[in-house]
Chains A and B, each alone.
Chain A
Amino acid sequence: SYELTQPPSVSVSPGQTATITCSGDALPKQYAYWYQQKPGQAPVLVIYKDSERPSGIPERFSGSSSGTTVTLTISGVQAEDEADYYCQSADSSGTYVVFGGGTKLTVL
């Protein structure tokens, strides 16, 4: 079955830039999406179609894609950005949805 691979954890100091990667063989053919999940809360969409930002999401959140890797970048990280982040995409044939294993972002 198809898998998306994320680093389990990323740590960054306030004000610095956090980068979270997601790798998968089908990513050149399928869009990627990113969700932020804080403890006890439902996920929130922060990036869609690789690099589009929904209304209400701060500009410091951005996404990019290169080959089999997509990246979520958070510029000028704030304490409130501490959360789990999940990438999501579809398999190469576009018949089922997959989530990455999640990355815990710690703001030091």
Chain B
Amino acid sequence: QVQLQESGPGLVKPSDTLSLTCTVSGYSISSGYFWGWIRQPPGKGLEWIGSIYHFGSTYYNPSLKSRVTISLDTSKNQFSLKLSSVTAADTAVYYCARGPAQLERDRFVYYYMDVWGKGTTVTVSS
């Protein structure tokens, strides 16, 4: 049974870098799938941040691309999110998720999230 668990600081100062880690159990992240980050500001909807394929290629939300880095650590079976220059608008519940996907010429034929972590709340405040 695949499980994902987010971890990281719950409070980040404005202009700092938000760093989160997703630890995967029950499946080796190097074996397949996309691994992604999604966030949800308080009282609002879901926003895709970005995803990384099991061999390392990354896809990012164009609106966040300049501030986002997603990486894999296969030795620890983890993947990570770094979001730089945060503001109060980045306050949200952050989820990690596994994603079945098929690519054709580096473009999604299909991609969705079938297993989610429980989420972690990150507040940006001084």
Contact = CB atoms under 8 A, between A and B. Distances in A.
Interface residues of B, number: 28
Interface in B61-109: 61-63, 95, 100, 104, 106-109
B46 A102 contact: yes
A45 B48 contact: no
Nearest to A95: B107
B45 A99 contact: yes
Given A96-B48, A102-B45, A45 B113 contact: yes
B41 interface: no
Given A42-B95, A90-B111, A94-B107, A100 B45 contact: yes
Contacts, number: 70
A interface SS class: loop
A43 B116 contact: yes
Contact of B45 (A41, A45, A86, A90): A86
A101 B47 CA distance: 9
Given A48-B100, A96-B59, 8 more contacts: A33-B113, A49-B110, A88-B46, A94-B109, A95-B108, A96-B48, A99-B38, A100-B45
Interface of B: 36, 38, 45-48, 51, 59-63, 95, 100, 104, 106-114, 116-119
Interface of A: 1, 30-31, 33, 35, 37, 41-45, 48-49, 54, 86, 88, 90, 93-102
- Nearest first, the 5 A-B pairs at minimum CB distance are A94-B107, A94-B108, A97-B48, A33-B112, A42-B116
